């Protein structure tokens, strides 16, 4: 049995993504002696970029919202103590943050530019849909109200829990129908839901607001890369006395008499603690518990949760001498007759860190059906056919985005990844990109995932509250509130 450095209260955290590292820093600030256990050789989970041909390719970090002084994510980054270390560039200064292209505009525009600012967004909607002024007024009133609640962090500081957000759980689609929005307008409003993995008709208004409003507050790119952000977080944790152990997966969560007692790793090492926070997918954490440690009903609830789909991504380089980087993101998509966006392709063309090349990133739905033949294989051992199938899909996607960003001369694909890659990398069930789906259908079953049926065992990570860097850190704060109690939380956590 390893005994951790003497601290009054020890905490063990499973997983070192943004969920695990934010959880670790928060608990360290509150006086816990924290050890993070990560199965991969390097920390960071989906936040970590990987290197191909000397170029950092980001996975789960393309742009961030609400980082202006005093804004929501900035307050969270300030609390974590990392803002000063991050080279950030503001987006949307001389143009849009996002440019949407509709390939089959049904009674709507071919293009819509998403600017910074709620007022500018409203003006853009009204200019694009001049006949729908009152529907837009109704939608904006709701957006402003819930964006304000989010910004004031009412879910953390007004004794609200996600279950109390029931008023905000009405599907956005029902609201848009009530307001009489056209399919064209719905198409524009559906994009933020897709970006967090929720089919637009199932997206509760609250989650739509979180995905949309945070980027309307302000939008930013990290000039460095995901690995840099991970290093900053790990350094901060180390400065606070915590540590990250990499390269050993947790094999078992040890429980005695209904209380958590520690963790056993794959190599047999044991670590003891009365507080354990699992930040891997909830199903993965529950699978680490012995079968008689939890009630079957709790196990069934967790394993029955529907997850978001996986994603397919392409990273490629193009010569910087003949292409210009795009200061905005491009979303190209089809909409159906009801206005639901399908086959969305996210495109980013930006500096690569190497003067001669720009980095092109495309992200789209996982195309799970294509990878079934390799389901039982693991990363690095899938063979040439898999590589060829990925390349064929990549080439098709590149052709699809060229009409919008121009012909990509001299392009070389440097990497592609599928849901199987994500599955093997971070243990996400079926390669789910955003974990548990925050759809209106499972608002109740997916609420309050922070607590578990075992005393001393909590959950954090993107599945407990909302995905994205913002949603995941908020999830860590809610879990902290359960761990230390509302009174102490509100006294000691100043955001």
Q: Which residues form the interface with ligand FAD (CB under 6 A)?
A: 14-20, 37-40, 45-47, 59-64, 249-250, 279-280, 284, 311, 313, 363, 426-428, 433-434, 461-462, 467-470, 472
CA–CA distance, 75 with 77 (Å, rounded to integer)? 6
CB 17 within 8 A of CB 472: yes
Q: How close are the terminal C-alpha atoms of the chain, in Å?
A: 38
Residue 284 or 454: which CB sits closer to ligand FAD? 284
Q: Which residues contact 257 (CB under 8 A, 6 or more apart)?
A: none
Report residue 223 as tokens.
């000039």
Phi, psi dihedrals of residue 5, rounded to the nearest 5° = -50, 140
Supply the minimum distance, in Å, between the C-beta of residue 278 and ligand FAD: 8
Report residue 201 as tokens.
């008709």
Supply the minimum distance, in Å, between the C-beta of residue 493 and ligand FAD: 19
**What are the distances in angstroms from CA 289 to CA 47, 195, 248, 253?**
26, 32, 17, 5
Residue 321 or 379: which CB sits closer to ligand FAD? 379
Residue 63 or 102: which CB sits closer to ligand FAD? 63
Report residue 66 as tokens.
């609400």
Residue 80 or 185: which CB sits closer to ligand FAD? 80
* Measured CA angle at 490 (ends 488, 495), to 5 deg: 130
Residue 135 or 330: which CB sits closer to ligand FAD? 330
The DSSP symbol for 197 reads: T
Burial of 57 (0-12, 13-18, 19+ CB in 10 A): buried
CA–CA distance, 272 with 276 (Å, rounded to integer)? 9
Supply the minimum distance, in Å, between the C-beta of residue 468 and ligand FAD: 4
DSSP secondary structure letters along 437-460: ---GGGTTTTTTTTB-SSBTEEE-
CA–CA distance, 317 with 234 (Å, rounded to integer)? 30
Residue holding tokens 């980027």?
Answer: 215
Dihedral angle sign, alpha carbons of residues 125, 129, 130, 133 = negative
Supply the minimum distance, in Å, between the C-beta of residue 281 and ligand FAD: 7
H runs (alpha helix) in 57-117: 72-80
Supply the minimum distance, in Å, between the C-beta of residue 339 and ligand FAD: 24
Residue 43 or 184: which CB sits closer to ligand FAD? 43
CB 458 within 8 A of CB 310: no
Residue 309 or 490: which CB sits closer to ligand FAD? 309
User: Beta strand pairing status for 357-365 and 457-459?
Assistant: unpaired
Supply the minimum distance, in Å, between the C-beta of residue 226 and ligand FAD: 8
Report residue 306 as tokens.
């529907």
Supply the minimum distance, in Å, between the C-beta of residue 410 and ligand FAD: 25
Residue holding tokens 């829990």?
Answer: 161
CA–CA distance, 450 with 217 (Å, rounded to integer)? 28
Supply the minimum distance, in Å, between the C-beta of residue 117 and ligand FAD: 19
Supply the minimum distance, in Å, between the C-beta of residue 176 and ligand FAD: 25
Supply the minimum distance, in Å, between the C-beta of residue 492 and ligand FAD: 23
Supply the minimum distance, in Å, between the C-beta of residue 361 and ligand FAD: 9
CA–CA distance, 132 with 185 (Å, rounded to integer)? 8
H runs (alpha helix) in 354-452: 368-371, 384-405, 419-426
Supply the minimum distance, in Å, between the C-beta of residue 50 and ligand FAD: 12
Residue 134 or 303: which CB sits closer to ligand FAD? 303
**What are the distances in angstroms from CA 76 to CA 68, 83, 157, 217, 394?**
11, 9, 14, 15, 36
What value does the CA radius of gyration of the chain take, rounded to a whole number of Å?
22
Residue 252 or 334: which CB sits closer to ligand FAD? 252
Residue 190 or 418: which CB sits closer to ligand FAD? 418
Residue 71 or 128: which CB sits closer to ligand FAD? 71
Residue 86 or 105: which CB sits closer to ligand FAD? 86
């Amino acid at each position: 049995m390893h005994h951790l450095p003497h601290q009054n209260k020890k905490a063990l955290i499973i997983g070192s993504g943004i969920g695990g590292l934010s959880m670790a820093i928060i608990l360290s600030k509150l006086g816990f002696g924290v050890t993070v256990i990560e199965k991969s050789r390097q920390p960071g989970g989906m936040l970590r970029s990987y290197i191909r041909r000397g170029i950092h390719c980001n996975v789960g970090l393309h742009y961030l919202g609400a980082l202006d002084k005093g804004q929501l994510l900035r307050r969270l980054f300030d609390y974590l103590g990392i803002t000063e270390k991050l080279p950030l560039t503001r987006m949307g200064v001389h143009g849009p943050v996002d440019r949407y292209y509709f390939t089959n505009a049904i009674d709507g525009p071919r293009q819509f530019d998403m600017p910074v600012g709620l007022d500018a967004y409203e003006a853009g909607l009204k200019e694009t849909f001049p006949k729908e002024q009152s529907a837009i007024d109704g939608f904006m009133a709701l957006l402003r109200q819930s964006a304000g609640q989010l910004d004031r962090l009412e879910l953390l500081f007004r004794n609200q829990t996600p279950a109390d957000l029931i008023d905000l759980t009405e599907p956005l689609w029902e609201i848009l129908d009530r307001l009489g929005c056209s399919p064209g307008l719905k198409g524009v409003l559906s994009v933020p839901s897709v970006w967090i993995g929720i089919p637009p008709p199932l997206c509760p208004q609250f989650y739509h607001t979180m995905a949309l409003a945070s980027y309307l507050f302000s939008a930013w790119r990290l000039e460095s890369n995901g690995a840099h952000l991970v290093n900053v977080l790990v350094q901060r944790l180390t400065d606070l006395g915590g540590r990250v152990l990499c390269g050993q997966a947790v094999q078992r969560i040890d429980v005695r008499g209904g209380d958590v007692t520690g963790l056993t790793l794959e190599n047999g090492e044991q670590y003891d603690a009365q507080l354990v926070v699992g930040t891997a997918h909830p199903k993965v954490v529950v699978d680490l518990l012995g079968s008689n440690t939890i009630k079957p009903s709790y196990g069934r609830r967790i394993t029955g949760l529907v997850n978001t789909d996986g994603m397919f991504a392409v990273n490629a380089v193009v010569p910087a001498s003949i292409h210009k980087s795009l200061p905005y993101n491009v979303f190209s998509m089809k909409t159906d007759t009801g206005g639901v966006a399908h086959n969305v392709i996210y495109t980013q063309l930006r500096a690569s860190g190497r003067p001669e090349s720009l980095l092109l990133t495309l992200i789209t739905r996982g195309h799970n059906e294509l990878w079934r033949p390799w389901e039982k294989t693991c990363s690095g051992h899938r063979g040439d056919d898999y590589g060829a199938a990925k390349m064929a899909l990549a080439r098709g996607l590149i052709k699809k985005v060229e009409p919008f960003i121009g012909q990509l001369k001299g392009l070389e694909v440097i990497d592609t990844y599928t849901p199987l890659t994500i599955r093997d990398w971070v243990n996400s069930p079926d390669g789910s990109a955003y974990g548990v789906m925050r759809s209106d259908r499972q608002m109740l079953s997916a609420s309050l995932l922070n607590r578990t049926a075992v005393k001393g065992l909590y959950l954090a990570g993107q599945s407990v509250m909302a995905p994205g860097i913002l949603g995941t850190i908020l999830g860590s704060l809610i879990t902290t509130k359960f761990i230390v109690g509302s009174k102490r939380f509100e006294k000691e956590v100043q955001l």
